[in-house]
Chains A and B, each alone.
Chain A
Amino acid sequence: MRIVVASGKGGTGKTTVATSLAQVAAERDAVHFLDCDVETPDAALFLHPSLDVHREVGIRVPRVDPQACNACGTCAEICRFNAIAVVGETTLVFDDLCHGCGSCTWMCPEQAITEHLFVTGTIDSGTTPDGIAFARGLMNVGQAMGMPILRELKKRTPSPMPRSSGAPRRALEIRDAPPGASCPVVETMRGADFVLFVTEPTPFGLHDLKQVVAIAHDLGIPAGVVINRDGIGDDAVGAYCAEHDLPILLRIPMDRRIAEAIAGGRTLVEAAVDYRPKFRDLLEQILAEATV
């Protein structure tokens, strides 16, 4: 079961909800947490994993063997990112324009191209004190493409979880999505069983919620909504959800206790234990909605 926590608008409480959902789920289930916001991953600030495994990842960029290359220009023609230039008898490669798609290698009639790893980031992984298997992607400073790191993060092989003697543990993967509604958000949602949208009841929150709802709809993934900072703004988010059959699974009112806990690097359910049963209900509702 793969659950994505997304929002559209930034700062609505994705990580707040995702980390608390993970902690409550870990009370009985085997939980993998993926921080998919590779530009600014922050879930580790709340779940405190010991990140002891680091793996360099990136894209595979072309290297041209000048002996085998006859400067036919096929690679430069095929590259939609202009990362290869052929002038005269010389073939030039610009690593920072390359997206690692591999088309040039595939199309080279002389098989003169081999591919080499160009490191753009790392995957850090480890375990949290709650027993959550945690992993995050972290893009290197100066890089512009998060997608290859995100794909590697999703490919990560889950480590075996210890078995408990009680009820059978369910295998849950919780993905904390990046903000926005661009490619990395689509990639985070791809392959998921449920998308939980965390929004705030403001015109900005609603505007961006509509965009990510459309993505989940196109991908055919069931979805539900958490309204954070409930009580501010207006009722337009509620009306929109009713109109589009989007269940509102939890409302979290504006609460100074929660804001202070987040600022101190603690999760919502650690600071406000009365929310633990609410998050347990949220998880069960998600599992029920996802399997309808």
Chain B
Amino acid sequence: MNVAISIAGQTLDAPFDARFGRAESFCVVETDTGNWTIHANPALSASGGAGVLAAQLIARLGAQAVVSGAYGPKAHRTLSAAHIDCFLAPGNEARSAAEILDAFTSGRLALADSATHGGHHGD
């Protein structure tokens, strides 16, 4: 399967980015082969709706799961509509994307059944 991880950098050694919509980039890993690709997050500079835009990128990249530190209501709704599982990794300690990947593949990460916080826009 393909899993997308929010990161701040260009390789698997780059630090994990706990923000979803405003992550610098996403690393998409094919868990069977270990092959990975890096994709810049177009939502980084969006004036609003960053989570919605980032979620559509993840869907387009063909990921079945995503790992980040938090999901807003609109990001979660968009990812759910795309049948993408949202996994949570704590962002309060510095870790690399590779370490997050290891935690994911060994089944140590929890699913976010709903948004982890309120929206930043309007409501």
Contact = CB atoms under 8 A, between A and B. Distances in A.
A and B interact: yes
Interface of A: 76, 81-83, 85-88, 90, 92, 94, 96-97, 142-144
A82 B50 contact: yes
B119 interface: yes
A94 B56 CA distance: 14
Given A82-B53, A86-B56, A88-B83, A144 B78 contact: no
Interface in B74-123: 74, 77-79, 81-83, 119, 121-123
A85 B121 contact: no
Contacts of B47: 81
19 contacts: A82-B46, A83-B49, A85-B81, A87-B55, A87-B56, A87-B59, A87-B79, A90-B81, A92-B81, A94-B49, A96-B121, A96-B122, A97-B48, A97-B74, A97-B121, A97-B122, A142-B122, A144-B121, A144-B122
A87 B79 CA distance: 8
B38 interface: no
Interface in B36-62: 43, 46-50, 52-53, 55-56, 59
Contacts of A87: 55-56, 59, 78-79, 81-82
Given A88-B82, A92-B81, A96-B121, A81 B55 contact: no
Interface of B: 43, 46-50, 52-53, 55-56, 59, 74, 77-79, 81-83, 119, 121-123
B119 A96 contact: yes
Of A83, A85, A86, most B-chain CB atoms within 10 Å: A85
A148 to B, nearest CB: 14
A28 B79 CA distance: 63
A88 B119 CA distance: 24
Contact of A143 (B48, B55, B122): B122
A86 B78 CA distance: 8
Given A82-B50, A92-B78, A97-B74, A142 B59 contact: no
B52 A85 contact: yes
A140 to B, nearest CB: 11
